[in-house]
Amino acid sequence: MALDILAMAPLYQAPAINRIGPKTDPSKRPADPLKPLVLSRTKLTTIEAKRIMSILDEAIYKVELVTLLSYVASNREDMEGMLGEDVMRAVREHQDLCQVLLENVRCLKEKERQLQEQKEAEEEGWLRDRLLSIELQKSSLSPLTQQIKDSTKNVLRLLLSNPQAARLLQMQTQGRSAEAQNFIDSLIELRGFLFEKLLTSPMEARDKAQFLQDISRQNSNNQQIIDTLEKELAERMKNRNAEEELEDLDAVHREEKISLEELRRRHKVLVGEFAQIREEREINSKKRMEAEQEMVRMVRAATLIQALWKGYLVRSLLRSKKKRGKGKAKDKEKGKQKGKEKGKGKK
């Protein structure tokens, strides 16, 4: 959108560029070796340079107005009396177009998300229709975007034709978003760079380049000298410190020897403690193994006793059943004999 704004013809009176200078006055600067970097001019003299700065200033001014349109749309009652009915009508139309675009973009993202989720589950024909629908919706965004660009240009045209309303809107800086303000600050910073570039003549540019080359060469030479001196200093310090070093090594050796003796003493104590602990562990392990073996014997004995007792119970049960069976057979035989005797008596 900024490019479209820059492409619009000038519709307002830009500030006089030849009266805009740097923040500091070069005449107050003290003379120093950096004189080639000081600009000899403080005003633009060529028509081309003035036109370039005029276009950039106009673009910045229009960006400042465009970035406040959302604030105007959200504060219609307060801004209507300030900007006029025509401007507010154009802003409402512009907001409606932006809302339609945002809704279409949201729907398009939702369709793409659904397509990505159902890509593997659906049939090929359904996917092809879905992709065609998404492409058609994407193609409809281009005309809508062009309408928004035209609407923006229309709002700017109405604002620039009413300088008082434009100035009042420009003062509503509290309604501008942080991102938009950063963009405007970047444009203003770019204007400063461009202004300085346009103030520099070709000869001054060559002098500046030559000066920078000389400074770079001098800095390289100085760095080589510094490296050489540092190397010599390091070598001399190395020789000088060779004997501080031997004494330090001897002291360190004595300290390490004392530490070694202490470590040996501690090691001896630890070895004795370790042997005692290992002996105790072996005794405990032996007792634990004996207890486990005793437990196994007791379990086996209990199992054997249970098996013998169960066998005894089974045999006792079988004997009792056998005795009851024999008794029943005898009673049955006696019953038969009694029946026969009764039959004979009746005869």
Tokens of 19: 């009266």
Q: Rounded to an integer, what distance in angstroms lies between the CA atom of residue 271 and that of residue 57?
A: 87
Q: Is residue 214 within 8 Å of 53, Cβ to Cβ?
A: no
Whether 271 maps to a domain, the answer reads yes
Q: Is residue 155 within 8 Å of 84, Cβ to Cβ?
A: no
Rg of the chain over Cα atoms, rounded to whole angstroms, equals 53
Whether 154 maps to a domain, the answer reads yes
Domain boundary pick from 181, 199, 217: 199
Angle between helices 76-83 and 163-170 (to 10 degrees): 140
User: Do residues 195 and 254 share a domain?
Assistant: no
Whether 328 maps to a domain, the answer reads no
User: Do residues 187 and 238 share a domain?
Assistant: no
Q: Rounded to an integer, what distance in angstroms lies between the CA atom of residue 244 and that of residue 103?
A: 79
User: Do residues 229 and 179 share a domain?
Assistant: no
In whole angstroms, what separates CA 286 from the centre of its chain? Answer: 60
Q: Is residue 94 within 8 Å of 156, Cβ to Cβ?
A: no
User: Do residues 157 and 205 share a domain?
Assistant: no
Q: Is residue 73 within 8 Å of 93, Cβ to Cβ?
A: no
Domain boundary pick from 289, 322, 338: 289
Domain boundary pick from 156, 171, 199: 199
Amino acid type, 49? A
Q: Is residue 61 within 8 Å of 160, Cβ to Cβ?
A: no
User: Do residues 194 and 54 share a domain?
Assistant: yes
User: Do residues 56 and 156 share a domain?
Assistant: yes
Q: Rounded to an integer, what distance in angstroms lies between the CA atom of residue 343 and that of residue 310?
A: 50
Within 10 angstroms of residue 215's Cβ, the number of other Cβ atoms is 14
User: Do residues 115 and 171 share a domain?
Assistant: yes
One digit per residue, the tens of pLDDT, for the chain of length 347 reads: 443 433 333 333 333 333 334 334 434 444 455 555 555 566 777 888 889 888 989 999 999 888 888 888 888 777 877 888 888 888 888 888 888 888 888 888 887 777 777 665 556 666 777 777 777 777 778 888 888 889 889 888 888 888 888 888 888 888 888 998 899 999 999 988 888 888 877 787 787 788 888 888 888 888 999 998 888 888 887 777 776 677 778 888 888 888 888 888 888 888 888 888 888 888 988 888 888 888 889 989 889 999 899 888 888 888 888 777 776 666 666 666 666 666 555 55
Tokens of 73: 């749309």
φ/ψ region of 190 (left if φ > 0, alpha if ψ in -120 to 50, else beta) reads alpha
User: Do residues 55 and 156 share a domain?
Assistant: yes
Whether 228 maps to a domain, the answer reads yes
User: Do residues 165 and 185 share a domain?
Assistant: yes
Helix, coil or strand: residue 268: helix
Domain around 280: 201-289
Helix (H) or strand (E) holding 110: helix 85-117
User: Do residues 150 and 73 share a domain?
Assistant: yes
Within 10 angstroms of residue 44's Cβ, the number of other Cβ atoms is 22
Whether 298 maps to a domain, the answer reads no
Q: What is the pTM of this model?
A: 0.45
User: Do residues 195 and 51 share a domain?
Assistant: yes
In whole angstroms, what separates CA 144 from the centre of its chain? Answer: 34
Q: Please give the tally of structural domains in the chain.
A: 2
User: Do residues 226 and 269 share a domain?
Assistant: yes
Specify the pLDDT at position 186: 92
Whether 125 maps to a domain, the answer reads yes
Whether 79 maps to a domain, the answer reads yes
Whether 40 maps to a domain, the answer reads no
Specify the pLDDT at position 48: 86
